[in-house]
Amino acid sequence: MLLHIGEKILNSQKIHRVIDDILEKRVRGMSQQDIANKLGVDRTFISRLESLGEVRKGGRVALVGFPIENCSELSQMAQVEGVDYCLVMSEKERWEFVQSKTGVELTNMIMELVGVLRMYDSVIIIGSDMRVKLATSLLDKDVIGVEIGESPLATDKYVDVNEIRNIIRQLHS
């Protein structure tokens, strides 16, 4: 995708490829200085790039997701793994929740939930591509998004419990 910024035209796909390449080289053990030298940039650029995506480890973790097919399995695993707050719902539970509230009540509940989630160091959001993006902008913190489909999702999706367990363990280590 081409982006126009003033007189410049930027290729955002190229930027993403270069960033992915930088991070892959760092994962394989290449130093920040070596990568910076190769690209002709300051080492601090590589450091700041890493800082942008850094997730705090060892803090309080929340897990939110819908529409989930295997809610009970996911909830049980979250409890065993020490997740501090867990809210996972099936499509049926989500609609029952929405329909049991007035517009004002629902708005207040959503605002309250955002406030609660902001108290956690890391929040794992399982949902559609749109919900993950929305949660990331609303929470303005370490959000780990696990996309389970394109929006709108109208049916329950099976979530790989081991994938979520691994994310939680990485956050706690």
Q: Cα 134 vs. chain centroid, distance in angstroms?
A: 10
Specify the CATH number of the domain 61-172: 3.40.50
pTM summary value = 0.71
Element (H, E) at 168: helix 161-172
pLDDT on residue 1: 85
- Asked whether the predicted pLDDT for residue 56 surpasses 80, the reply is no
- pLDDT tens-place string over residues 110-168: 999 999 999 999 999 999 999 999 999 999 778 999 999 999 999 999 999 999 999 99
pLDDT on residue 125: 98
Q: Where do the structural domains in the chain lie, given as residue ranges?
A: 2-53, 61-172
Element (H, E) at 142: strand 142-147
Average pLDDT of span 64-93: 97
